[in-house]
Amino acid sequence: MIAILKKPTFLLFFLGNIISLIGFGFNMIAISWLVLAETSSEYTLGKIIASATIPGLFISLFTGYIIDKTNRKWLMVFLDIFRVIVILLFLLSLNYFDFTILLLYPVVFLIGIGNSLFWSTSQAFTQEIVSESEYYNANKLLSASFQIGSILGASIGGFVVHFYSPYVALWINILAYLVSGILISLAPFKNSIKSSSNSNIIKSWMKGFIFLRQRFDIAMLSFTTILSDVAIWGSLSVLTISISIQIFDMGTLGYGILDGFYGLGAFISVLIVGYLTSNWSRSLVLRGCYLFGFLSLLLSSIMPNILFAALFFFLLGININSSRIITRTIIMENVDNKIMGRVQTVLGIYSRLMVVLSSLVTGFIIENYTIQLALFFTCMHYLVAFVGITAVGIIWNKSNKYLFSN
């Protein structure tokens, strides 16, 4: 991993991605607290999160085409600037209008577009700037950048919102996106992907479907294991702050602790996942990760205080991020970089649709039933991922190459 970090392009991209994710962490907790402080409604929070995801669902139709047709480095820089402008306009508008929930909908909608494109582009960009033999370590580092950003963004953001205000957190969010854009813009990079100029959007988009139809083992693996990410971006976006408020009465401070411990566990996973996969098959490690993830989340809600709950979120982070590193490496190994954007488009549409449903259902269950039922619903995401990995290993012989080798 050290050798990859010595490359200026990857290092600057890595640092820029960390800073961008710090900004995202501040944004998430600020928006969540604004919604709950104004409405005290988990279902409304679910709708806000869905509103942030829906634009990504629609733009996903064009994401792969955009990523594969443009310079990925400058696309990420543009998206950082775009998100700065959106948040800045929202904060300036508060000088002329009183805050209402209606003001948030266009903000999260536009930020959702920026996030959707940025994250998909960063995944494809990583594959472009490293060699095939470096995919595994590059994925670990990319995941580390997400988790470092998550740790700092969520934990520090929780303290900032608790002791100052969500608006201060949003100003820090703006600064983070600016720094991210500057760092990525400084990365030396020459675009090496040459897409065919006569391919229209529809034909380009269909290439992702055609690949996944031909490699149904990869489709099954992707569609089931993506639900572990859906649990994080969908259900847990609503559930974590509700656990902090309803079970432990800790507000945004508790949210920062839980999310920070999850991020710390996810960062630790970067250091140990290589050891796990060198001693056991990927299939066994993945199934263990999803099973322990299920149990960690389930047990977190019955702990006597938030610190004990945070320890289980720490274990959740270790297991779920380990699984994410492995599955993303499998996808990189099996999907050619020339069509990675198109495949990411199909998977992005599916994942964002699931995030919308997951966040709405979780908010509805918490508000109309019990938080324990919502917790069990979230745990089921990991159970489906467990079943998916098991099924792929049993049904497709070709999975021996990427699931049962060290």
DSSP state of 243: I
Cα torsion angle, 318, 42, 170, 181, sign: positive
Residue 155 maps to a domain: yes
Residues 6 or more apart whose Cβ sits within 8 Å of residue 42:
36, 238, 242, 362, 363, 366, 367
pLDDT, average across residues 33-61: 82
Half-sphere exposure of 32 (CA within 13 A, CB side): 32
pLDDT over 90, % of the chain:
50
The model's pLDDT over 209-244, given as tens digits with 9 standing for 90+, comes to 899 999 999 999 999 999 999 998 889 988 998 999
In this prediction, residue 200 has a pLDDT band, given cuts at 50, 70 and 90, of low
pLDDT at 297 over 90: yes
DSSP state of 298: H
Residue 142 maps to a domain: yes
DSSP state of 200: -
pLDDT, average across residues 151-176: 89
The model's pLDDT over 343-361, given as tens digits with 9 standing for 90+, comes to 877 888 898 889 889 989 9
Residue 191 maps to a domain: no
Q: In which residue are the tokens 């209606």 written?
A: 102
Please name the amino acid found at residue 274.
Answer: G
DSSP state of 94: T
Residue 125 maps to a domain: yes
Domain encompassing residue 270? 9-185+200-403
Residue 32 maps to a domain: yes
Whole-number pLDDT of residue 84:
97
Q: Report the mean per-residue pLDDT for the chain.
A: 88
The model's pLDDT over 104-128, given as tens digits with 9 standing for 90+, comes to 989 998 998 898 889 878 888 888 8
Residue 320 maps to a domain: yes
From CA 136, how far away is CA 320, in angstroms rounded? 16
Whole-number pLDDT of residue 74:
93
Whole-number pLDDT of residue 197:
46
Whole-number pLDDT of residue 205:
67
What are 39's two structure tokens?
């409405």
Q: How many domains does the chain have?
A: 1
Please report, for the domain that includes residue 41, its CATH number: 1.20.1250.20
Structure pTM?
A: 0.79
What are 374's two structure tokens?
């919502």
Residue 1 maps to a domain: no
Residue of higher predicted confidence among 393 and 193: 393
Nearest 10 degrees: CA dihedral of 201, 214, 402, 13?
A: 0
Residue 3 maps to a domain: no
